[in-house]
Amino acid sequence: MIIYNVTINIEENIHDEWLNWIKEHIPQVLATGKFTDAKLTRVLVEQDIEGFTYSIQYRAKSREDLEAYYQHHADRLRQDGLKRFADKMLAFRTELEIIDEYSVTFNP
């Protein structure tokens, strides 16, 4: 499994508009069929940069699915956000490979 992580800093004056938009955008990314699920999280660590920072983690079954997303969908889907928010947001992307997963099981 691969996690495609998009971290975005949003200026305060467009925060609410952007948050509404991203909640519509994420299902569009999932509709490409290249990801199994996504998580939208807010970064809580205090930063030197103003505004709000979010992380969206999309989970792909394989590197090939992620590459297919890049080749066939990424540019089109990125353009909408760039047109709407241009210089009011800053985004960077990272790829993470899941090595192992752990969870806690409770037995009453």
Any domain includes 36:
yes
Q: Domain containing 9: what range?
A: 2-97
* Cβ neighbours of 24 (radius 10 Å): 9
Does 46 or 100 have the greater pLDDT score?
100
Any domain includes 27:
yes
Tokens of 62: 């394989």
10-50 confidence digits (pLDDT tens): 999 999 999 999 999 999 999 999 999 999 999 998 767 78
Any domain includes 30:
yes
35 CB burial (10 A radius; 0-12, 13-18, 19+): buried
70-91 confidence digits (pLDDT tens): 999 999 999 989 999 988 999 9
Any domain includes 107:
no
Any domain includes 45:
yes
Euclidean distance between CA atoms 48 and 55, whole angstroms: 17
Q: Provide the sign of the torsion angle of the four alpha carbons 44, 47, 52, 57, taken in this order.
A: negative
Task: Give the chain's mean pLDDT.
Answer: 93
Any domain includes 6:
yes
Any domain includes 104:
no
Q: Where are the beta strands (DSSP E) in the chain?
A: 2-10, 37-42, 52-60, 89-97
CATH number at residue 86: 3.30.70.100
Any domain includes 8:
yes
As for how many domains the chain has, the answer is 1
